[in-house]
Amino acid sequence: MKLKIAVLAGDGIGPEIMEQGVAVLSAVARKCGHDVTYREALCGAHAIDEVGDPFPEETFQTCLWADAVLFASVGDPKFDNDPTARVRPEQGLLAMRKKLGLYANIRPVETFDCLIHKSPLKDELVRGADFICIRELTGGMYFGEKKEGTDEAYDTNYYSRPEVERILRVAYQYARQRRRHVTVVDKANVLASSRLWRKVAQEMMTEYPDVQTDFMYVDNAAMRMIQDPRFFDVMVTENTFGDILTDEGSCITGSMGLLPSASTGSSTPVFEPIHGSWPQGKGLNIANPLAQILSVAMLFEYFDLKAEGQLIREAVRASLDANVRTPEIQVEGGARYGTREVGQWIVKYIEEK
């Protein structure tokens, strides 16, 4: 297969983990006979510094040219403590989502047995937890009408029926590949927008009689996720709730540095780790490249290249089993491996397979 990939490395640890992600992508392509062309493009703080825009037009065009975008991370502390900053790196990410019509954000929450001890939850609660959160990504408060005055400010949580319908369809499609259980998370006891979600979902669930649908208020869902995470199979929710719940989800697995994500919609799909740019780790060769590498697995799987995805997943598991791990997950007294060493070990595993 011919694949055109836009490479958006961004800020902080982004470029380092991206280097390993691309190396793995290339290794799999060589092995399986795919022809990959890469184009790099600027985004985030880096792009603000260079051209004054966190998602420049040229980057957008590169994304449109590509079959898929491999994205690392954006963000820089110099913008965080400055509420007056005119542009922020995060706006680049939001612009990318909106311009590429990436309405569905798929965030798997899965555990790795050898990292369960890193979870803040008890082993017996979290072991075997395996669900995905489908987060609506281009609507809600993030993009609704806003006002930012001196004495008052608001964000509007707007949703239309088609927006709700299309994201619910994505959830049902995933559920049919999994354990056929969808949990719609909302706040329908308070919010009008949530009542629309619930109404649309109640109508739609009759089209999917083979899938069990249940409804949960977001506060309850936040609690259930730490009391009984194995309850969930496919969780679907609006933009803001999804943002919050997926941070909670990633941390209960004990493997935040290992979780990839996919964002899909009407144009080029984007694959990225769910963690941020970790500016403190920049340039130190200590960032975990596995979420980026697993994002490459999701990229292949998106194009129905299942064996390629499996090969990467197997190599990642093998690296963990061999204790070839970055410092934050290394076992006590274990050897030291950096971002580069972990990535190269995985490349070699794939080449020798």
Q: Which of 53, 76, 142, 208 is catalytic?
A: 142
Q: Of the listed pieces 63-71, 89-97, 165-173, 335-343, which binds ligand IPM according to CB under 6 A?
A: 89-97
- Segment contacting Mn ion (CB under 5 A): 72-80, 111-119, 237-245, 279-287? 237-245
- 93 vs 256, beta carbon nearer ligand IPM: 93
Please tell me whether residue 90 binds ligand IPM under the rule CB under 6 A. yes
> Catalytic one among 113, 123, 214, 247?
247
Which residue, 49 or 90, is less far from ligand IPM as judged by CB? 90
Specify the residue, 55 or 215, whose C-beta has the smaller distance to ligand IPM: 55
- 219 annotated active-site: yes
Q: Does 348 qualify as catalytic in the annotation? A: no
Q: Is 302 a catalytic residue?
A: no
* Region 243-272 residues binding ligand IPM, contact defined as CB under 6 A: 243
Which among 11, 76, 233, 243 is annotated as catalytic? 243
Q: Between 67 and 90, name the residue whose CB sits nearer to Mn ion.
A: 90
Q: How far is CA 310 from CA 1, 49, 77, 317, 322, in A?
A: 17, 39, 36, 10, 18
Q: Which of 42, 66, 93, 211 binds ligand IPM (CB under 6 A)?
A: 93
The amino acid at residue 239 is: N
Q: Could you tell me how many residues of this chain bind ligand IPM (CB under 6 A)?
A: 4
| Radius of gyration (C-alpha) of the chain in whole angstroms | 20
Whether residue 187 lies in the annotated active site: yes
Per DSSP, 126 falls in state: H
In the complex, the smallest distance separating the C-beta of residue 93 from ligand IPM, rounded to whole angstroms, is 5
On whether the CB atoms of residues 70 and 296 are closer than 8 A, the answer is: yes
Distance CA 110, CA 129 (A): 6
Per CB under 6 A, 287 contacts ligand IPM? no
Q: How far is the CB of 39 from Mn ion (least distance, A)?
A: 27
Q: Please say which residue, 98 or 178, places its beta carbon nearer to ligand IPM.
A: 98
Which of 53, 76, 136, 243 contacts Mn ion by CB under 5 A? 243
Residue 171: phi, psi to the nearest 5? Answer: -60, -45
Please report the sign of the dihedral spanned by the C-alpha atoms of residue 300, residue 119, residue 142, residue 9: negative
Tell me the CA end-to-end span of the chain in Å, nearest whole number: 20
Told to check if 134 binds ligand IPM by CB under 6 A, we report no
As a whole number of angstroms, the longest Cα–Cα distance in the chain is 63
DSSP letter for each residue of 266-281: SS--EEEESS---GGG
Dihedral pair phi/psi, residue 110, rounded to 5°: -130, 155
Look at residues 71, 107, 31 and name the one whose alpha carbon lies nearest to residue 314.
31
Closest CB to ligand IPM belongs to which residue? 90
Piece in contact with ligand IPM (CB under 6 A), picked from 5-13, 86-94, 208-216, 285-293? 86-94
The number of beta carbons lying within 10 Å of the beta carbon of residue 191 is 16
- Interaction with ligand IPM in 217-246: which residues (CB under 6 A)? 243
- Closer residue to ligand IPM in complex, CB, 130/248: 248
Alpha-helical regions (H) of the chain: 14-32, 45-51, 57-65, 77-80, 89-99, 123-126, 161-177, 192-204, 218-227, 239-252, 290-302, 306-321, 339-352
Report in angstroms how near the CB of residue 51 gets to Mn ion at its nearest.
25
CA 261 to chain centroid, in Å, comes to 3
Q: Report what 49 binds from Mn ion, ligand IPM, none; CB cut-off 5-8 Å by kind.
A: none
| Annotation marks residue 243 as catalytic | yes
Question: Which residues have a catalytic role annotated?
Answer: 142, 187, 219, 243, 247
Site residues, ligand IPM (CB under 6 A):
90, 93-94, 243
